[in-house]
Chains A and B, each alone.
Chain A
Amino acid sequence: MTPALFRVAARERDTVDTWTLTLEAVDGPGPVIGPGQFMMVYVFGIGEVPISVSGPPGEPGPVVLTVRSVGAVSGAICASEPGAVLGLRGPFGTSWPVAAAAGGDMVVVAGGIGLAPLRPIVLHALANRDAYERVTVVYGARTPEDRLYVDEIERWREKIAVDVTVDAAGTEWGGPVGFVAKLVSRADIRPELATAFVCGPEIMMSTSIDALVARGVAPERVHVSMERHMDCGVGLCGHCQLGPTLICRDGPVYAYPTISRWMEVREL
């Protein structure tokens, strides 16, 4: 439960309110992190928040976090200059089951900042391209200016298909404008071979999953990353309870059929 010290090695601005930080452990090589896991990030004197890891999975090394500044703590993380020291606990939670897609098609569906927790499996697929047949990323952002990893996505396109849509745009934007679920309904995927990984606002996830299932993707081959308020990160405080499950401990990544009924309960 005691945070380990990490120093900000690099900070890169993604959008007007989102930054990607690379953090190096002050002592040791850094943790091994599974794709989709999160860290509890402590800004000394301000507070602690859960942040999904957006860097490559599987090897000890720096921790990469893409953080949107929406509050006091996340704002302080984004404002941390290289050399600043933050406290990290983790990694916590379950990982995207990338092995489930091996030998078949991988479909990644992201909405907004939800691309950040999915980036590790995209990086994994790029590094292990032969392990998968088609890899398709479908990404919805608010506007063209709110897109994450813009230059990097162009490099992804050399190896995998990436479809990007935005909710609104000026006429200088040459790409699709529309809700991400529409793009899902039209994406060039093979439903019978697809394993899907979905992350974003819950309504975006449920509508996108509806579109996937309508196309014939088996629900049990759809995986989601859930979000609720988290405090402890280790299943003690209960703040992130969703039905019978604690998201910090049993999630955040779930097979869709195991969590879908609880996503529909408004009181949760």
Chain B
Amino acid sequence: MEGIESLLAEVPVFAGLGASALETIAGCGKNVHFEAGAVLFREGDAADTFYVVRHGSVAVETFIPARGPMMIETIESGEVIGWSWLFEPYRWHFDARALTVVRATAFDGACLRGKCEADPALGYALMSRFAQVLIERLQWTRLRLLDLYGDGNRS
């Protein structure tokens, strides 16, 4: 567990958490490895895990009937992927696929939810950090929805 703790300390989303909190979180984690092309999770499946990507790149994808799979976003090293473990019905909304060899730390969502419920201060600290990441991604996604590069005439 000590190895995971030290890795977590360098991940932006966990920045500022104390050693005790990191130790608690690390207790729900294990290091995993994916080959390029491997599926981390698939839309509709049970969402019981989230990942901190330590190395490599992961694509968040969805399948559009008659168009095929589309990449929605890529997640790079130092980022977190997977939020559906936080809220019912605990099902993935999208697919996640390794674009490269990926080394990550996988966290058991049920384990971490239990620890957050038992320790509200930890729960608040974690939720605040996750909310910040989610909001940042929401804002950038909103900007992409504007299709900013789809119009305009000066070059």
Contact = CB atoms under 8 A, between A and B. Distances in A.
Interface string B127-155: 00000000000001101101111111111
A219 to B, nearest CB: 21
Given A170-B68, A174-B99, A182-B140, A203 B155 contact: no
Contacts of B70: 168-171
Interface in B22-55: none
B111 interface: no
Interface residues of B, number: 28
Contacts of B141: 179
A67 B152 CA distance: 11
Interface in B59-74: 59, 61, 68-74
A196 interface: no
A168 B148 contact: no
Contacts of B149: 111-113, 140-142, 146, 167, 200-201
B27 to A, nearest CB: 29
Contact of B74 (A65, A74, A178, A227): A178
A177 interface: yes
A28 interface: no
Interface string A182-198: 10001000000000000
A173 interface: yes
B142 to A, nearest CB: 9
Contact of B72 (A54, A70, A177, A201): A177
B88 to A, nearest CB: 28
Contacts of B152: 68, 70, 112-113, 201, 227
Give the most central of A49, A50, A170, A207: most B CB within 10 Å.
Answer: A170
Nearest to B67: A170
Interface in A206-245: 207, 227
Nearest to A186: B76
Contacts of A201: 148-149, 152
Given A182-B140, A204-B143, A227-B154, A177 B148 contact: no
Nearest to B144: A167
B146 A203 contact: yes
Give the most central of B140, B141, B146, B147: most A CB within 10 Å.
Answer: B140
B151 A70 contact: yes
B155 A65 contact: yes
Interface string A53-76: 010000000000111101100100
B148 A111 contact: yes
A170 B153 contact: no
Contact of A52 (B61, B146, B155): B155
Contacts of B146: 203
A71 B153 CA distance: 8
A177 B62 CA distance: 13
B84 interface: no
A171 B144 contact: no
Nearest to A173: B71
A111 B143 CA distance: 12
A238 B144 CA distance: 32
Contacts of B71: 168-171, 173, 177
A87 interface: no
A23 interface: no
A237 to B, nearest CB: 16
9 contacts: A51-B155, A68-B153, A141-B149, A167-B149, A168-B70, A176-B57, A177-B73, A179-B140, A204-B143
Q: A-B pairs with the 6 shortest C-beta distances?
A: A112-B149, A179-B140, A142-B149, A70-B153, A201-B148, A116-B155
